Amino acid sequence: MIIKDASLETVCGITSKLPDNILPEVAFAGKSNVGKSSLINALMNRKSLARTSSQPGKTQTINFYNINNAIYFVDLPGYGYAKANEAVKAKWGKMVENYLHRSKQLKLVFLLIDIRHEPSGNDKIMYDWICSNGYQPVIIATKLDKIKRSQLQKQLKLIRTALGTDAESIVIPFSAETKQGREEIYELLDRFTEA
């Protein structure tokens, strides 16, 4: 996949109606501060189209990025942000649930997990929930540059075990710093958009 054109096209808040897109969509889910915006920017070859923030929990909308007029990257609100109050968390959950149920064009869901830590209870809930909606999430193990190479296999096994993934599940280690893992993600996107 060569990205020539990328633009933020639609922003959906809690009360917004989801757009009736005709292009395929791939969604990015993950807890706040897992590096979702950094991953999306790295894939789009843009510095800051997806807004990164030092304050986790900033993405409180569903953002649709039009890529090459061929596919949408859908940035879902980060979950598990401790400082958000329960009412706000419940609304984010509803938004994401609504999107997973209602999108007619959703082809693939990427679930981002911080490679340095065992997946949290919220990560496990999100993984099970994506599966129960009929999708086989692709796990992106972010922040790869923050661990030693010798720790890689151990951390990947920890993620697989904690989430309870099956043998066919795809787990891609990724670094926003070095862009390692980006080509594998592009190959997957090509496969899904061609299908």
Rounded to the nearest 10 degrees, the angle between the axes of helix 86-102 and helix 121-132 is 30
Q: What is the pTM of this model?
A: 0.91
List C-alpha distances in Å: 74 to 28, 121, 139, 164, 170: 6, 23, 16, 25, 19
Find out whether 157 and 166 touch, Cβ atoms under 8 Å.
no
pLDDT of 47 > 80? The answer is no
pLDDT of 167 > 70? The answer is yes
Per-residue pLDDT tens over the stretch 93-119: 788 888 988 899 999 999 999 999 999
pLDDT-derived band at 55 (thresholds 50, 70, 90) equals low
Find out whether 63 and 74 touch, Cβ atoms under 8 Å.
yes
